[in-house]
Amino acid sequence: MLRGAEITLQCMRAEGVDLVFGYPGGAIMPLYDALDGSGIKHILTRHEQGAVFAAEGVARATGKVGVAMATSGPGATNLVTGIADAKMDSVPLVCITGQVRSALIGTDAFQETDVFGLTLSLTKWSRLVKTIEEIPSVIAEGFHWARSGRPGPVVIDIPTDILKAKIEFSGPVKFVPQANPSNGHGQPLFANELVSLLEKAKKPVALVGAGAKLSGAIADLRRLLDHLQIPTFATVHGLGAVPPSASYYLGMVGMHGTMASNMALDETDLLLVFGARLDDRVTGDPSRFSPNAKIVHFEIDPAQLDRVRQCELPIVGDLAETIPATHAVLRGISLPDWSEWRGVACGEERLGLEPRGLAVPTIRFLDELFSRLPENHVVIADVGQHQMWAAQRYRSCLPRGFITSGGLGSMGFALPAAIGVQMSKPDATVLCVSGDGGFQMNIQELATVHRLGLPIKMVIIDNKFLGMVRQWQQLFYQRNYAETDLSDNPDFVAISKAYKIHGQRISEDAMREFPISPETSDELERFLHSPQSELLVFDTAPEANVFPMVPAGASLSEMLLEED
Amino acid sequence: MHIFHIHYRNTQGTLMRIINAASRRALELPYVKAEANANGHQATLLLEVTPKQIGQLRRDWYAIVDVTEVQVSIAEFETGLGVPHPPISAGDESVRSATA
């Protein structure tokens, strides 16, 4: 006879789970009681939000399903931001929450919340378990939906009495989804139409998003793009999919994308979209987005089609299948000569825009750090100006080398996510870049870093402001810096020492020398290659801004290249 | 006005997810009906939507795990389905007596 708790853990183990992040409490206590001997390592974070972001870090770095656990009520509600984050960025995530005992559900019992109802719009699938007998099928189905198709978050809410109940357990089960009738997105042969569109195109471009990486189709995509040789750019989640050394690669596109990318996207007459959902950070004003472009959209999730504008040719399916199929079709076709267009779109005039102004020391600092990263690395960025600078300067071709909260933009993401990344990639150099605002949102996870002895390299770009909001206030609200002043920040180095983590500061003056001094260079080398966790606080100008910038509601062609 | 018939397997939360696709867009829900039929369950929603929203809703519903089919047609008031079903207010005597 096994308890529901043991059955839950055995079924999770059968799904390949060997690592979970969580925080115990009353309702979920039976599950914690069963952890010993389960084969699943549990990492105690210091806040449930830390647990769910850490689980996301595992999932984003490896593609495996990340798992977080929390108790009922406030424990479960503290997971909500992470669940929303996983939904927006297509992250495979399973959250196991304890719930009050079945007889009390619906009575506003102590630490009871309707987690199922609360997360309905944020989850791909969810279930409030009603009997111990259904645990194996619920776990199997939950993990299936988390990882299949467009990955996403799943919540499994288990009342405490069911965790404690006992039955004879015959073993985990496999979930076999029911076949649905065709949803009208069956894939007729697209070859002729695609070839026709390419033959007529004068200024084709390609946009690469997260879906290209999630599908595991990177190698095939690179071969296809090498064949097409058309100007190509990436969303923030597509960074690393295309080697930056490719002559046709223009960098990141969108609100803080490169001038070259934004101009090409604005001027194109044929846009090939690979696994991107064309969200507003990429398109600018949707009504003026790529006004002359026909869109060919490679996408696994039909719900992402036609959100901004009707696409000419939807190619629905797993990119791991549709991209090689497309390449096979195009191999035998003589494509138009786009060299003149490529020369304009990829020319030095557009690509050669150098950073200017107050942001230069910070950008140089990031360049120096990134240039020293070993091949086996992961950069995790929090949310804000530092995130955009980091995305702009990231130059690696590791598909999972740059991780950030893109769709939801959750501040406080980076530090706990870095914990998950380092746990799942113990040999990688993990560089966690945060702002002074976001770092404080989950600063308590320094305790987790120390307890585990994780050699995470943490950087705080400290401008003593909520920088991105301040930038908008400067540019669009007449410098009314309402509630963005963080000039009374604590001493982060002292805090890191209190958590028994080595910390130090570096001033932006060190980055004004070019090249940087040998002492500064040595310090950066020491920081990055230290065998222990490290914190480096970079003091920078409060009013540095991120450019280029496409103002909200503006079209890509209206991007600002510098301050007035 | 358009009528949407969404066929689904009546698993936990599926009907709520179907309705949520409309409610999250702040669409008025003058008529909602859910019932079992020979092929599982069917939800019928009457919505005032733009052509673009029709496409978005169809795709959102198909993204729900246990939705099997979505049919759309223009509302026909002769069938009675086009008659709005006003929400009962909390002050309504019949509601008070029903919940007493």
DSSP codes, chain B: -EEEEEEE---TTHHHHHHHHHHTTT---SEEEEEEETTEEEEEEEE---HHHHHHHHHHHHTSTTEEEEEEEE--GGGTTTS--PPPPTT-HHHHHHH-
Please give the residue range of the domain that contains residue B6: 2-99
Q: What's the pLDDT tens digit per position in B41-55?
A: 999 999 999 988 998
Q: Model confidence over B24-39: pLDDT tens digits? A: 999 999 999 999 998 8
CB contact under 8 Å between B55 and A306, yes or no, is yes
Distance from CA of B57 to the nearest CA of A (A): 8
Q: Buried b vs exposed e over A264-303: b needs ≥16 C-beta within 10 Å?
A: bbbbbbbbbbbbbbbbbbbbbeeeebbeebbbbbbbbbbb
With beta carbons under 8 A apart, name residues in chain B contacting A127: 12-13
Question: Tokens representing A310?
Answer: 């009707």
pLDDT > 90 fraction of chain A, expressed in percent and rounded:
90
| Residue of A120, A137, A305 to mutate when probing chain B, most B C-beta within 10 A | A120
- Per-residue 3-state assignment (H helix, E strand, C coil) for A105-138: CCCCCCCCCCHHHHCHHHCCEEEECCCHHHHHHH
Q: What is the pLDDT of residue A70?
A: 98
Domain A2-167 has CATH 3.40.50.970: yes
Q: From the CA of B17, how many Å to the nearest CA of chain A?
A: 7
**Cα–Cα distance, A417 to A423 (Å, whole number):** 10
What CATH number should be reported for the domain whose range is A357-547?
3.40.50.970
Q: Report ipTM for this prediction.
A: 0.87
Reduced to 3 states, what is the DSSP secondary structure of residue A10? helix
Residues 6+ apart with CB under 8 A from A484: A465, A466, A469, A470, A473
CATH code of the domain containing B58: 3.30.70.260
Neighbours of A21 (CB within 10 A): 30
B6 neighbourhood in chain A, CB within 8 Å: none
- Record the tokens describing residue A233, joined without a space: 């750019």
Cα-based distances in Å from A270 to A197, A267, A502, B41: 8, 9, 52, 42
- Give the model's pLDDT for residue A351: 85
The region that residue A182 occupies, defined by phi over 0 for left and psi between -120 and 50 for alpha, beta otherwise, is: beta
What is the predicted pLDDT for the residue at B81? Answer: 52
pLDDT at site B88: 41
What is the mean pLDDT of the segment spanning B49-78?
88
Angstrom distance (rounded) from CA B95 to CA B100: 9
CA atoms of A391 and A388, how far apart (whole Å):
5
- For residue A29, count other CB atoms closer than 10 A to its CB: 16
Structural domain tally of chain B?
Answer: 1
Asked if A422 contacts A456 with a C-beta cutoff of 8 angstroms, the reply is yes
**From B20, which residue of chain A is nearest by alpha-carbon distance?**
A121
Coil, strand or helix at A355: coil
Task: Please name the residues in contact with A180: beta carbons below 8 A apart, sequence gap of 6 or more.
Answer: B67, B68, B69
Task: Spell out the residues 6+ positions from residue A222 whose beta carbon is closer than 8 angstroms to its own.
Answer: A241, A242, A243
Q: Is B95 on the interface with A (CB under 8 A)?
A: no
Contact B12 A303 (CB under 8 A): no
The whole-number pLDDT of residue A513 equals 85
How high is the pLDDT of residue B80?
A: 55
Ordered by start, the domain boundaries in chain A are: 2-167, 191-351, 357-547
How many CB pairs below 8 Å do chains A and B form together? 46
Q: A146 contacts in B (CB within 8 Å)?
A: none
> How far, in Å, CA of A315 to CA of A322, rounded?
7
CA gap A166, A192 in Å, rounded? 60
The overall pTM is greater than 0.95: no
Shortest CA distance to A97 belongs to which of A80, A121, A122? A80
- Best B17, B41, B60, B65 residue to mutate vs chain A (most A CBs within 10 Å): B65
User: May I ask the CATH architecture of the domain A191-351?
Assistant: 3-Layer(aba) Sandwich (3.40)
- What part of B 2-41 touches A (C-beta under 8 Å)? 9, 12-13, 16-17, 20, 24
Backbone conformation region of residue A201, classed left if phi is above 0, alpha if psi is from -120 to 50, else beta: beta
Domains A2-167 and A357-547 share a fold: yes
pLDDT of B12 over the 50 cut: yes
Return per-residue pLDDT of chain A as tens, 564 residues: 999 999 999 999 999 999 999 999 999 999 999 999 999 999 999 999 999 999 999 999 999 999 999 999 999 999 999 999 999 999 999 999 999 999 999 999 999 999 999 999 999 999 999 999 999 999 999 999 999 999 999 999 999 999 999 999 999 999 999 876 544 444 446 888 999 999 999 999 999 999 999 999 999 999 999 999 999 999 999 999 999 999 999 999 999 999 999 999 999 999 999 999 999 999 999 999 999 999 999 999 888 888 888 899 999 999 999 999 999 999 988 999 999 999 999 998 888 778 888 999 999 999 999 999 999 999 999 999 999 999 999 999 898 999 999 999 999 999 999 999 999 999 999 999 999 999 999 999 999 999 999 999 999 999 999 999 999 999 999 999 999 999 999 999 999 999 999 999 999 999 988 899 999 999 999 999 999 999 999 999 999 999 999 998 899 989 998 876
Decide if A186 touches B, using CB distance below 8 A.
no
For A368, A499, A528, A535, the CA distances from A532, given in Å and listed in that order, are 20, 13, 10, 10
Average pLDDT score, chain B: 81
Nearest-CA residue of chain B relative to A125?
B65
DSSP E strand boundaries for A391-519: 402-404, 429-435, 457-462, 502-507
